[in-house]
Amino acid sequence: MSREIVLEALVVARHEQPPMDATVLRALAAAGLGSGSYAAAEIQQAEMVLAPGMRKRLGMYTLTMGAGGESLRAIVYRYGGAITEGIGEPAFLVLTRGLAASDTQTLRESTLAFDLRVTVPQERTLAATEWMVKVEGALLELVEGVCIDPAAERCYGREQMARLTDADPLVHVSFHAEAWNADSRWLHTHGLRKFGCAEIDMVAVPNTLEAEGEAFLRDVAASLASGAQLAAGGEVDMGEFGLAEAVAAPVDAEHQAPYGRLRLVDSALPGERQGISPVRMLKRMALADAERQVREGQITAALETLERVLAAEPDDCAALALKAAQFLSTGHVTEALNLGELMELRVPGDYRGPLTVGRALAALGRYREALAALNRAISLDPEAAEAFAGRADVHERLGQALPAREDRAHAVYLGYRG
CA distances, 376 to each of 173, 220, 319, 352, 417 (Å): 52, 42, 20, 10, 22
The pLDDT mean for the chain works out to 91
| pLDDT (tens digit per residue) in 230-241 | 999 999 988 888
| pLDDT (tens digit per residue) in 58-102 | 999 999 877 677 889 999 999 989 999 888 888 888 888 889 999
Q: Looking at residue 2, what is its pLDDT?
A: 67
Q: How many CB atoms lie within 10 A of CB 69?
A: 7
| pLDDT (tens digit per residue) in 344-364 | 999 999 999 999 999 999 999
The whole-number average pLDDT for the span 202-213 is 96
The whole-number average pLDDT for the span 165-172 is 79
Choose between 90 and 189: higher pLDDT: 189
Q: Looking at residue 159, what is its pLDDT?
A: 82
Query: pLDDT confidence of 242, banded at 50, 70, 90?
Result: confident
CA distances, 299 to each of 43, 87, 289, 326, 352 (Å): 73, 48, 12, 7, 20
Q: Looking at residue 59, what is its pLDDT?
A: 94
Q: How far apart are CA 353 and CA 280, in angstroms?
A: 20
Query: pLDDT confidence of 166, banded at 50, 70, 90?
Result: low
Q: Looking at residue 294, what is its pLDDT?
A: 94
Q: Looking at residue 164, what is its pLDDT?
A: 75
This prediction has a pTM of: 0.84
Q: How much of the chain, in percent, has pLDDT values that exceed 70?
A: 96
CA distances, 286 to each of 162, 302, 307 (Å): 34, 10, 10
The whole-number average pLDDT for the span 202-206 is 96
Q: Looking at residue 308, what is its pLDDT?
A: 97
HSE at residue 81, side-chain half, CA atoms within 13 A, is: 8
Q: Looking at residue 45, what is its pLDDT?
A: 61
Query: pLDDT confidence of 279, banded at 50, 70, 90?
Result: very high
Q: Looking at residue 217, what is its pLDDT?
A: 96
Q: Looking at residue 51, what is its pLDDT?
A: 66
The whole-number average pLDDT for the span 369-374 is 96
Q: How many CB atoms lie within 10 A of CB 224?
A: 23
Distance between start and end Cα atoms, the chain: 56
Q: Among the listed ranges 103-107, 346-350, 414-418, which one has the minimum average pLDDT value?
A: 414-418
Q: Looking at residue 373, what is its pLDDT?
A: 97
Q: Looking at residue 1, what is its pLDDT?
A: 53
Q: Looking at residue 33, what is its pLDDT?
A: 87
| pLDDT (tens digit per residue) in 2-61 | 688 999 999 999 999 999 999 999 999 988 888 889 999 886 665 666 667 788 999 999
Query: pLDDT confidence of 405, banded at 50, 70, 90?
Result: very high
What domains, with CATH codes, occur in the chain?
Answer: 4-167 (3.30.1400), 173-279 (no CATH), 315-413 (1.25.40.10)
Q: Which of 10, 7, 151 is nearest to 68 (CA)?
A: 7
Choose between 288 and 122: higher pLDDT: 288
Q: Among the listed ranges 61-70, 191-200, 269-278, which one has the minimum average pLDDT value?
A: 61-70
Q: Looking at residue 32, what is its pLDDT?
A: 87
Q: Among the listed ranges 48-62, 72-86, 314-328, 370-384, which one has the minimum average pLDDT value?
A: 48-62
